[in-house]
Structure 1
Amino acid sequence: MSKHLQYNKADSKDVEYVLSILSRVYPVDIKLKKEFEQHLLRLRIKKDQILFNENEVCEYIYFIVKGALMGCTTHNKQKITTYISVENDFVSSISGLHGSGYSQEYVVAVEDTDLLAIHNNELNRLFAHHFDLNYIFRVILEKYYKDAQQRAHIIRVGNAKERYLYFAKTNPGYLDRLPLALVASLLNVKASTLLSIKKNFSKPKEQNKDLAECGQKLELYVNKHQLFRQKDIRLHSLAQRIGISSHELSVVLNNYFNKSFIDYINQYRVNWIKGSIQNRDIMQNFTLEALAYSAGFSSRSAFYSSFKKLVGMSPIEYSKTLNQEKL
């Protein structure tokens, strides 16, 4: 263990808190509660202080009450972040779990951190006498394993943007809280790349509000005038109609609707055709190609290509599916 760590007996409030976390998995009985009251410890470590080192036995399993820790290893003299844990996470040596061997990683505080701890000797004794504790920790380890597998997968196959979005989704608020270099190391991307992606996604609230207002205005205008049915509709002409510049319209389409101009217009066309296909009176008098031209498509190939891209099947397959549902 890192030197100068001061362990004190946890108070009743600490015990109640950690037991409330465990009880979310399975109820904790009175005997086990008394064991935690007797053996649970508390400590505080400062930012950048090491909790335990590589090549030493981690004697405790820890629970983070407040703060953040990171697990690290070294390869070719380079530090690699293997995980980040914050409030309500359990932390110990992964390679030397329950004191079974020497740790291949070290753990250091990212922030001033308050921890609860129980010695592995006591924990292993409790495992031998309390089935409920075995079950609780099995569930906790299963969740950790699934999270680690998902993280490993996205880091192996995802690009930098996908890794950023994964981390932002699974760790809300952490990108603003944790050092950028630390998150970049965890996601195996350059810090400069992560910063650039973060800037693109972290738009001011006022800008987001303006995008939403402009997007809603665009929706109302396109729906009211059915502009998508005009074969010659272009980005600049649509921008002029709603009173904004072509650049502003591109920003709204890309950042609010996450679509290109042509995909945005074709989505309207395809939705209009889908509604027409569901109307038997219309289908008795019009072919699919006639509907496509009426919706604004300039060619049969463009119609079929866009329909399959946006619906996942050809217009003929879609029509057959509707007919089968009506039988």
Structure 2
Amino acid sequence: MSKQLQYNKAESEEVGYVLNVLSRVHAVDAKLKEEFENHLLRLSIKKDQILFNENEVCEYIYFIVKGALMGCTTHNKQKITTYISVENDFVSSISGLHGSGYSQEYVVAVEDTDLLAIHNNELNRLFAHHFELNYIFRVVLEKYYKDAQQRAHIIRVGNAKERYLYFAKTNPGYLDRLPLALVASLLNVKASTLLSIKKNFSKPGVRGRDLEESGRKLELYVNKHQLFRHKDIRLHTLAQKIGLSSHELSIVLNSYFNKSFIDYINQYRVNWIKDSIRNPEIMQNFTLEALAYSAGFSSRSAFYSSFKKLVGMSPVEYSKHIMKEKL
């Protein structure tokens, strides 16, 4: 069995943090917020400490606030890394999801890690009474499934260089942050091979802490000045405003946010429109198209296409759903 873990009631700001992450997928009502206030727990584990073990029931679903975890299994006495998760990821037993059975994998901290947790009994109860939580976790699981399928495919058919490039693209910053041997195990390549490939693909530019600092600077500037609402916003003009070259900003967007410039800007626009739709006073005075133009979209088709891509439903469907929630 894993070492006894110390769970404590989560602080209000910690509850608010995870609710903010959930609300990016779907609005969370007051009753569900209260449930999380009452039942969300917090814990911290040290590097190399096991969160839960093989052949053990995982009683919680976890949310990583800070740090990194890896899922592992053993085959012929050899450790196999099956996944790596960092901040803002949900983690639980895959084989024994929601406490449905014994776990076939174990999870261990790669770094000192702060977690939030909710017991599976509470979570299953909330699923029965809150539609939005079912929808949120469906989206979370769909993303995990797609990522896992893509990872399995590239490991089966890709060569070592293709595996490296896939990992670098889908996990920006991990290669500089995580132990090389761990990433090599995940990608099923030799550590020496991975190191050689990494050296060949290393380029000057924004990396490591500079990458993170530039990403935060970009977020602060875009939020403060609401640049996404400018229809004529361009990569080179945004780069100039935050003191980067166009090439450096492209690296930040692709490596830190894993988004193209247009997808990054449109995400802000869609989030702004979603917040507006939730405000009855705004909806009484503005059409969806008017909101789209105010948010920075230059056409109705671009608005509808981006909204459905990022939200999973059309703006009209989303608006109707929000109205039903308020009845």
- Tell me what 1:300 maps to: none
In angstroms, what is the RMSD of aligned CA positions?
A: 1.1
- Could you list the structure 1 runs, at least 4 aligned residues long, displaced by more than 3 angstroms after superposition: 203-206
2:120 matches 1:120: yes
- How many correspondences in the alignment? 206
3-state SS in 2 of match to 1:124? helix
Deviation at 1:4, TM superposition (A): 2.6
Q: Per-residue displacement from partner, 1:27-62 (whole Å, max 9, x unpaired)?
A: 000000000000000000000000000000000000
- Give the aligned residue type for 1:67: G
Deviation at 1:178, TM superposition (A): 0.2
- Tell me what 1:291 maps to: none
2:133 matches 1:133: yes
3-state SS in 1 of match to 2:193? helix
- Tell me what 2:104 maps to: 104
Q: Distance in 2 between matches of 1:135 and 1:201?
A: 40
Structure 2 matches for 1:137-152, cutoff 5 A?
A: 137-152=137-152
3-state SS in 1 of match to 2:108? strand
3-state SS in 1 of match to 2:82? strand
Deviation at 1:110, TM superposition (A): 0.1
Q: Distance in 2 between matches of 1:165 and 1:3?
A: 37
Q: Distance in 2 between matches of 1:85 and 1:198?
A: 21
- Tell me what 1:163 maps to: 163
- Tell me what 2:28 maps to: 28
Structure 2 matches for 1:219-234, cutoff 5 A?
A: none
Deviation at 1:2, TM superposition (A): 2.2
Q: Per-residue displacement from partner, 1:102-126 (whole Å, max 9, x unpaired)?
A: 0000000000000000000000010
- Tell me what 1:37 maps to: 37
Structure 2 matches for 1:281-320, cutoff 5 A?
A: none
- Give the aligned residue type for 2:179: P
**TM-score, normalising length: structure 2:** 0.62
- Give the aligned residue type for 2:22: L
Q: Distance in 1 between matches of 2:204 and 2:25?
A: 39
- Tell me what 1:197 maps to: 197
- Tell me what 1:91 maps to: 91
Deviation at 1:204, TM superposition (A): 4.1
Q: Distance in 1 between matches of 2:12 and 2:125?
A: 22
Larger Rg: 1
2:88 matches 1:62: no
Deviation at 1:90, TM superposition (A): 0.1
- Tell me what 2:242 maps to: none
- Give the aligned residue type for 1:15: V
- Tell me what 1:81 maps to: 81
**TM-score, normalising length: structure 1:** 0.62
2:1 matches 1:11: no
Deviation at 1:3, TM superposition (A): 2.2
- Tell me what 2:153 maps to: 153
Unpaired runs of 5+ residues, structure 1, are 207-327
Unpaired runs of 5+ residues, structure 2, are 207-327
Q: Per-residue displacement from partner, 1:134-190 (whole Å, max 9, x unpaired)?
A: 111011100000000011111011000000000000111110100000000000001
Deviation at 1:127, TM superposition (A): 0.6
